[in-house]
Amino acid sequence: MSIKWLDLDTPPHLPALYAHAAARRKITGSTLPEQGVRCWVAVAPKPLAAFRDLCGLTPSPLLPPTYPHLLAFGLQMQLLTAKDFPFPLLGLIHLNNRIQLIRPMGGVTELHIGVYARNLQRHPKGATFEVVTEVSDRIGPLWAAESTLLCKGVELPGETLEQPTAAALALTELTRWYVPSGIGRQYAKVSGDYNPIHLSAASAKLFGLPSAIAHGLWIKARALAALDSHLPADNLEICVSFKKPVRLPSEVILLASDPGSRGDFQLNGQGDLVHLTGQWRPLG
């Protein structure tokens, strides 16, 4: 796939993009655009400190593994709300997320970030596609991510591809924590992601949910904070699959395998409820 890049001088203005998202409610096509969006984005100390605090991260000279997602959020919004993007942003469901830590993310004050969409596939409930985020510094590639999103109601020809599942390592309880009812609003202030399903029970009910649910990327960031001593600092791939949403408020339980170059983890609710499954592996 050959990407036609749109280079921006400054990151996109989020309020205007939210207006575009609110106005788009219909599926308008079944092919992904070939255009990507990229820009240099500053790493500001205060928002970074707020993110660390919200996710339970200790101070470190390295950027947290999931923090580039926040820096890329405006570019992702511009990509997904563009006129030629066929699916409405509101209603997309985040199924999977994979990040690659190519080099240690230390001492960076500005990052070059590019985002684009690819790999449209048939799904039993519609269609999935990937939003790819690529992050570099002045030296070269530093970090990359793929987020698999589901759009319900899309009709594509062909067969649904089966996703292979790998056997998990033995897991034991590592920690548990209480997720408060206001975490969605707190994360929105830090990330800029004001999706109504995360903000309050009232706004979530407008989209058919009985209560607000936690942001998937906050859940992942909070789990990785608890797994910090388990993980290498670079040459690392971390994959998660989002299962049942974390309804607010609730208690969650993090299970993990032993520290090392590879491992597995899982975030559970009460009873047999599974919110997230994940793994970390060396790159290559």
Max CA pair span of the chain: 50
Which residues on adjacent β-strands are paired with residue 254? 175, 267
Q: Can you tell me whether residue 118 is helix, strand or coil?
A: strand
| Architecture of the 164-284 domain | Roll (3.10)
pLDDT at 207: 85
Rounded to whole angstroms, the Cα distance separating 96 from 240 reads: 6
How big is the chain, counted in residues?
A: 284
The strand pair at 93-101 and 236-242 is best described as antiparallel
Sign of CA dihedral 57, 134, 194, 43: positive
pLDDT at 166: 65
* Domain pair 1-160 / 164-284, same fold: yes
- The whole model's pTM is what? 0.93
Domain positions in the chain are 1-160, 164-284
Give every residue of the chain whose pLDDT is below 70, as ranges.
1, 159, 161-167
- Cα–Cα nearest to 68, from 176, 122, 165, 142: 142
pLDDT at 267: 98
Residue 167: partners with Cβ closer than 8 Å, 6 or more residues away: none
Q: Can you tell me whether residue 269 is helix, strand or coil?
A: coil
Residue 19: partners with Cβ closer than 8 Å, 6 or more residues away: none
Rounded to whole angstroms, the Cα distance separating 203 from 196 reads: 5
Residue 72: partners with Cβ closer than 8 Å, 6 or more residues away: 41, 113, 115, 133, 135, 145
Rounded to whole angstroms, the Cα distance separating 190 from 187 reads: 5
Going by the DSSP 8-state scheme, the letter that residue 107 receives in this structure is S
pLDDT tens-digit series, residues 242-283: 999 999 999 999 999 999 999 999 999 988 899 999 999 999
CATH fold group of domain 1-160: Thiol Ester Dehydrase; Chain A (3.10.129)
Rounded to whole angstroms, the Cα distance separating 226 from 229 reads: 8
Residue 263 near residue 280, CB atoms below 8 Å: yes
Tokens of 139: 């030296």
Rounded to whole angstroms, the Cα distance separating 104 from 143 reads: 9
pLDDT at 133: 98
Asked, as a colleague might, if the bond just before 45 is cis with ω within 30 of 0, I would say no
